[in-house]
Amino acid sequence: MSRITELRASFDKKMDALEHQALALEAQLTRTKDQALQGLEQRKQQLGDLLKQVQADVQKSKEIAEQAKLEVQAKLEHLQVQLALGKADARDTFEEQRTKILKALNEFESVAEQKLKGATFESGKVWEDLVGRTSKLEAEYEALKDRFESEKAKQQVTLEWKKEELLTKLVLFKDQLKAKRVVVQAKADVLEADLREGLDQIKAGVRKLFE
């Protein structure tokens, strides 16, 4: 069993992971979405800083073959590129970025477990720190994912309710229009003004709905 797998399977790290998830969820309830996204960026930065240390340790190690170093380096750089992408505050870009980062992280860990097995580094806690920081990042992503989905569902319910409200107003408006068509021509100008005002209000509601 590799060091990364061993750490993830340990009781302490499993408990840490649960704590990270609880803290991330708690933070979601006390922060605005912008603050939550900024917290995610900080987690990405923390992991990125650690990866620089891993990169330096790998390069300095005399226990690792050059070809293995190149393979690890390629996965490291790919992961670093994904982590360096800007803040994703739209749901689709958030999901895309989340998927790419977690995939790159998984690929790096897989190669590290194969190519760096048994290697020791000057910074002895490097794998422990890696497991801890990735756990915090994953927890932040999961909590924010729930928030995006919750807000999307909430917006969808509101949108549907607003649509129904506006459709009801339009049906009523058309009924009023039919009824007022039979009114004597002498009152036509006043009736038109009344109807136009009602229609303008509905139009304003539709514009606001899709802003």
Q: Please tell me the pTM assigned to this model.
A: 0.67
Residue 141 belongs to domain spanning: 3-152
Residues 131 and 170 in one domain: no
Q: Residue 85 has what pLDDT?
A: 83
**Between these two residues, 102 and 210, which has the higher pLDDT value?**
102
For the stretch 129-141, pLDDT in tens is 999 999 999 988 9
For the stretch 58-89, pLDDT in tens is 888 888 888 988 999 999 999 999 999 877 77
How many helices (H) and strands (E) in the chain?
7, 0
State how far the Cα of 94 lies from the Cα of 112, in Å rounded to an integer: 27
30, 122, 172, 183, 198 from 190: Cα distances, Å: 54, 87, 19, 11, 13
Domain-terminating residue out of 123, 152, 181: 152
Our CA angle for 62, 124, 16, nearest 5°, is 140
Residue 203 pLDDT exceeds 80: no
Residues 124 and 177 in one domain: no
Task: State in Å, rounded, how far the first CA of the chain is from the last one.
Answer: 54
**Between these two residues, 193 and 211, which has the higher pLDDT value?**
193
Task: State the CATH number of the domain containing residue 124.
Answer: 1.20.120
Q: Residue 81 has what pLDDT?
A: 93
Residues 148 and 163 in one domain: no
For residue 124, report the phi and psi dihedrals to the nearest 5 degrees.
-60, -25
Residues 171 and 194 in one domain: yes
Number of domains in the chain: 2
